[in-house]
Structure 1
Amino acid sequence: MACLGADDGAGPVTWRLPLLTRRTAIASAGLTSLGLATSLPASPSPAPDPSPKWRRGLDNQRIADLGDGRFLNPVLSGDRPDPAILKDGDDYYLTFSSFESYPGLLIWHSRDLVNWHPRKPALTRNIGSVWAVSLEKHKGRYFIYIPVKASPQNDTFVIWADHIDGPWSDPVPLSLHRHIDPCHAVGEDGSRWLFLSGGDRVRLSDDGMRVTGEVEHVYDPWRYPDEWDVEGFAPEGPKIHRIGQWFYMLTAVGGTAGPPTGHMVIAARSRSIHGPWEQHPGNPLVRTTDIREAWWSRGHASLVQAPDKSWWSLYHGFENGYWTLGRQCLLDPVEFTPDGWFRMTGGDLSAPIAKPDGGTALPHGMALSDDFSTLAIGTKWSFFRPDPDEATRARVADNTLYFKGKGLAPSTGSPLLVTAGDTSYRFECDIELAPGGTAGLVLFYDDKLYAGLGFDAERFVTHQYGIERGRPVNPHGDRMRIRVTNRQHIVSFHTSGDGGKTWAKFDRGMEVSGYHHNVRGGFLMLRPGLYAAGPGEAKFRDFRFTALDD
């Protein structure tokens, strides 16, 4: 179940795994310079074993499944925030906040909770910035409840489908303007509810398509000690699960970013969907306490039962030193105790963990390289903050992407972007200009913060800090191949006028570790992509992505 469908009759099943030894990760120089390294408690630990290594998959991207019965987090790397999980028989479906990327709400599929394969996006029309959703199945129909930040006002929408691959309905507004992070829940009496941020809830109609009452306050979340370093109280992301005779509510508090020690997971329980709610005596269940830990700002958790009936939790976290990769999807084993409570047992998630038994491993992930034989928008590629007719800008023919120019630069051009989940990678593409046009490759956070290299027929254009800077002479004319290398935030550019046979290093390097939410806001990640500006259609051929070993 995601937040809650109906009771599957399974009582708590104990899954015992010893707590893992914490890895002593190196704190970033940026945190040290901010004084955070000395303000947080340092946990004593023995000399660590050598850091475990991920297996490598498509495009050399890291994958969690180690092939020996264990996995190493993250189970889905890159920006996968606010995971919404649905157990549907032997299948698991997962989606994430997609914010201003469209098509959005890409559905992922698994049969073992570790290996995930993309299916189709559920949301194609831009309705605003999509925050933490609720993915549900009720009486044979799939629902997604979608909180949106938009102008002139925020709202929550619902879409539905009779198959997980759609077609999904048009979004229906619910007129919930002051809350985020809805969670669908079904009471012991069959009533349907949305639990909301701040400990509130609202009644839903029997068909789940409208609210039928006023928002009411039903839960006061557990509060952490005042001396802890957090971003703010911000109770959000409630997830309701009915397991045995209990309703369990997991909530995130402490702020989703800010100090690495801020975000955390708390829990409460009740015999009834109507309360009262009893606080977990072990709160918080998950929290980063030391900046040397592998994962920062961990929170926004759900519970899910694996094929072998063991229990697990999915939540997100920032990789130590890599806010630029966004909040990645983590899997933590759960142990139920005789008193009916539960705890997470994966420690700081830095070490390999035994996979749940059973299930089938699907092919994991997807290649980001693209020969443009098909138009993979919505799975591989997405637009940033698109206009209603944005999809008409892109078409493919003869292994070429024809991309109509828009605006004058990436800031006004709705670039096409992919989600990269490795700390180092390289991407390159053959680019041919339309007369009078400009095109190039970017590392894009949002329209105010990006880096990259573009060109017109006469000059290069250097993109840095979200502005257009140096314009040295372009020796290649209207067609060249550009390569961008991002190695642990150090960015370099190479160009080739002979299709990649020989390369020249461009005389401008960059450092992009500050291109992230704690600097800019927006809850996004730094994403590789391509843009076209000005008149006509730029032609892109042979996009190649390669993750690099650090």
Structure 2
Amino acid sequence: MTATIRNPVLPGFNPDPSICRVGDDYYIATSTFEWYPGVQIHHSRDLVNWRLVRRPLERASQLDMRGNPDSCGVWAPCLSYCDGLFWLVYTDVKRLDGNFKDAHNYIVTAEAVEATWSDPVYVNSSGFDPSLFHDDDGRKWFLNMQWNHRTESFGGSPKSPAFDGILLQEWDERTRKLVGPVKNIFAGSPLGLVEGPHLFKRDGWYYLTVAEGGTGYDHAVGMARSRTIDGPYEMHPNVHLITSKDHPEVALQRAGHGQYVETPDGQAYHTHLCGRPLPPLRRCTLGRETALQKCVWREDGWLYLENGGPVPELTVPAPGATGTVAERVVNETDFDELALPPEFQWLRTPVPSRIFSLTARTGHLRLFGRESIGSWFEQALVARRQEHHSFRAETVIDFAPDTYQQVAGLTHYYNRQKFHALGITHHETLGRVITILSCPGDFPNGRLAYPIGSGVALADGPVQLAMEVRDNDLRFFWRGTAQAEWAAIGPVLDAGVISDEGGRGEHGSFTGAFTGMFAFDISGRAIPADFDRFRYQALTV
């Protein structure tokens, strides 16, 4: 019996999937943007089940994103294997809005994915979405899209002229520099917004796949080929290998940006990012996810989806006869280990000891209140991806604020302008209170709303906090030490705004939703908040 790949294979925020096979092992690297450590690498042996095994950009010499705006940071990594090494190419984007991007490209290497990765080698800054192609003659070639700032192209409203083709230049491994002429080898199709290049070689042809159409509902994987690496490249007979842009009725939308891979016995697959919108506003609350499609080579020498058209499917045949999806619907930690559980990340800073500790209080995650929730520099927020349209998250917090400038609790978080938070703070007359802070995408001001005003007075001691998201609706709950039952608090909030399409809308941001724990202390005293467990559970609506 043939096993089945169920898409998305990496649910939740896992965009721009670069896939690499080494022997019988498959690896997918995905973008992490402003979340630290940088780049997620998942491993599989059957293309069905995937496990997070490494985030390689983990120290300041490799990545420091303090000050990076929302949706900047690590864009579109490319993972490859050659000469006994894994090669990872990535961009650190320092600016989003306006004409400029300030996108810096680097290469790091390691002998094994799980090993410590090298310090980065700087490559160039001419554009983002880099990749490295290892030719069969031993030469290496670096590709990236070229960014043209001389255009009316601004964050939140991209226009094609800024995406000025795909650049190619040789990479000299000995000198660790680009050498020879820079050539613009591919302008893309009329769909525009060409980016995300990947090269591979088959039967004497160089095949180039690119992402086109932006990060929204017009997204697509384009394909072209040439007999010489620098072109000219002819377009695929269908122009696009994978896209849902003309089929709003299918489950996997926003399909684009991926990479080709072959199994050991020559079967063809292609990764791509996708989104699963919720009605009625078609907002993708899980962000951009990773999917896999089965492909076939036809007599014309072109690659096609096995289903014959460009539209991706929820289920496709896996290469082997075995493989059962082991879906994880409950995940819980008591913070008894000396390292964060692998599903958790934080924002921007390479100095995590400034924002959290797992040793300051045994069995607890201690967050040190730093800058405000939504800071681009140093905020104490430790969170995990939302992987289901409906879920419940719970935590227990011990926190004793003495001013309203100190707040800590549980949050549903996208970025500084799109979040809901249930927090404990101090009120001048009520004392310690529990309240709600909400920022429903009010670009450009990022105004806070307080759905329950000053909040509800609390007794001393630990407090249990919970949130339930059911598709587009969010509800907070709390329970004190003397309470037997959970109590709902505040109104039903718009969980759908915690999405790529929330706030200023499509192309304005393109990461994903997280749920987790936060603390801030804008008095500057870094008051601690202690959390002694965190539970995430998928729900059925």
* TM bucket normalised to smaller: 0.7 to 0.9
Higher alpha-carbon deviation: 266-275 or 392-401: 392-401
Q: Which amino acid aligns with 2:87?
A: F
208-217 or 434-443, larger mean C-alpha shift? 208-217
**Cross-structure match for 1:439:** 408
Matched, 1:313 2:270: yes
Distance verdict in 2 for CA 1:448–1:478, change over 3 Å: farther
CA deviation profile, 1:274-309 (whole Å, cap 9, x unmatched): 333222112122221122211211101211113543
Cα offsets for 1:403-435 (capped at 9, x unmatched): 212124454624111012111000010100045
Instruction: Indicate yes or no: 2:275 matched with 1:341.
Output: no
Shift of 1:475: 2.7
Q: Write the deviation string for residues 26-66 of structure 1: whole angstroms up to 9, x where unpaired.
A: xxxxxxxxxxxxxxxxxxxxxxxxxxxxxxxxxxxxxxxxx
C-alpha change, 1:200 and 1:496, in structure 2 (3 Å) is same
- 1:526 corresponds in structure 2 to 513
Q: Which runs of 5+ in 1 are unaligned?
A: 1-66, 225-232
- Counterpart of 1:180 in structure 2 is 128
Partner of 2:155: none
Verify: 1:492 aligned to 2:475, yes or no: yes
Task: Classify 1:93/1:344 alpha carbon distance in 2 versus 1 (closer, same or farther; 3 Å).
Answer: same
Instruction: Give the conservation status (yes or no) of the 8 Å contact 2:477–2:486.
Output: yes
TM-score, length basis structure 2: 0.81
Partner of 1:215: 182
Q: Which whole-Å CA distance do the structure 2 matches of 1:89 and 1:365 have between them? A: 27
Superposition CA RMSD, Å: 2.5
Name which of 196, 199, 208 aligns with 2:166. Answer: 199
CA distance in 2, matches of 1:269, 1:448: 42
Instruction: Tell me the equivalent position of 1:302.
Output: 259
Aligned mates of 2:108, 2:354 — CA distance in 1: 21
Residues 193-228 of structure 1 show CA distances to partners (whole Å, capped at 9, x for unaligned) of 11211221121013483222343211232324xxxx
| Distance change (3 Å), C-alpha of 1:522 and 1:127 | farther
The reply on whether 1:235 has 2:194 as its aligned counterpart is: yes
Counterpart mapping for 1:104-119 below 5 A:
104-119=38-53
Which residue pairs with 1:38 in the alignment? Answer: none
Report percent identity of matched pairs: 27
Q: Equivalents in 1 of 2:15, 2:128: separation in Å?
A: 14
- Give the corresponding residue for 2:17: 83
After superposition, the Cα gap between the structure-2 partners of 1:378 and 1:541, relative to the gap in structure 1 and judged at 3 Å, is closer
Please state how far the C-alpha of 1:107 moved relative to its aligned partner: 1.6
2:417 is matched with which residue? 448
The secondary structure found in structure 1 opposite 2:413 is strand
d(CA) in 1 for partners of 2:49, 2:340: 22
Tell me if the contact between 1:117 and 1:364 (Cα under 8 Å) persists in the aligned partners.
no
Equivalent in the alignment of 1:517: 500
CA distance in 2, matches of 1:391, 1:499: 34
CA distance in structure 2 between the partners assigned to 1:538 and 1:178 by the alignment:
43
Output aligned runs, 1:105-184, within 5 Å. Answer: 105-124=39-58, 125=60, 126-128=63-65, 129-150=73-94, 153-174=102-123, 176-184=124-132
In the TM superposition, what is the alpha-carbon distance from 1:266 to its structure 2 partner? 1.3
Mapped to 1, the partners of 2:329 and 2:29 lie a distance apart of 15
C-alpha separation between the residues in 2 aligned to 1:189 and 1:72? 37
**Partner residue, 2:221:** 265
Q: Is the contact made by 1:79 and 1:327 (CA closer than 8 Å) also made in structure 2?
A: yes
CA apart distance, 1:482: 0.6
Q: Secondary structure at the match of 1:431?
A: strand
Deviations 1:455-498 (A, max 9, x none): 12512231111625222122343521011001002000111013
Equivalent position SS for 1:454 = strand
Map 1:8-27 to 2 at 5 A. Answer: none
Deviation of 1:363 (Å): 6.3
Q: Does 1:474 align with 2:457?
A: yes
**Aligned: 1:542 with 2:505:** no
Q: Deviations over 1:229-281 (max 9, x none)?
A: xxxx1100111111232221111111122xx2x11111111223233322211
TM (normalized to structure 1)?
Answer: 0.80
**Offset of 1:361 from its aligned partner?**
6.7
The code of the aligned residue for 1:530 comes to M
Larger strand proportion of the pair = 2
Residue in 2 that maps onto 1:5? none
Q: In the aligned structure 1, how far is the partner of 2:126 from the partner of 2:483? A: 53
Match of 1:327 among 280, 288, 313: 288
Q: Deviations over 1:132-170 (max 9, x none)?
A: 011111200111111111169321011111221121112
Q: Helix, strand or coil for the counterpart of 2:485?
A: coil
Structure 2 unaligned blocks of 5 or more: 66-72, 96-100, 146-164, 427-431, 440-445
Compute the displacement of 1:342 (Å): 1.4
Q: Does structure 1 residue 286 correspond to structure 2 residue 249?
A: no
Is 1:247 the counterpart of 2:206? The answer is yes
Q: 1:421 to 1:341 in 2, by over 3 A?
A: same
CA contact (8 A) 1:118 1:379 kept: yes
What is the deviation of 1:454? 0.3
Deviations 1:168-199 (A, max 9, x none): 1122222x222111111123432211121122
Q: Is the 8 A contact 1:318 1:328 kept in 2?
A: yes
Pair 1:78–1:385, CA change in 2 (3 A): same
Q: Is the 8 A contact 1:266 1:280 kept in 2?
A: yes
Q: Counterpart of 1:532 in 2: which secondary structure? A: strand
How far apart are the structure 2 equivalents of 1:141 and 1:68?
33
Contact 1:187-1:273 at 8 Å conserved across structures: no
In 1, Cα distance between the equivalents of 2:38 and 2:482?
A: 34
Aligned-pair CA distance for 1:364:
6.5
Contact in 2 for aligned 1:441/1:530 (Cα 8 Å): yes
Letter in 2 for 1:105: V
Q: Is the 8 A contact 2:367 2:529 kept in 1?
A: yes
SS in structure 1 opposite 2:385?
coil
Q: Is the 8 A contact 1:90 1:359 kept in 2?
A: no
Spell out, residue by residue over 1:63-117, the C-alpha distance to the aligned partner (whole angstroms, 9 max, x if none): xxxx972232111100110001110111011110110000121221101112101
**Structure 2 Cα separation of the partners of residues 317 and 287 of structure 1:** 9
* Alpha-carbon distance in 1 for matches of 2:314, 2:104: 40
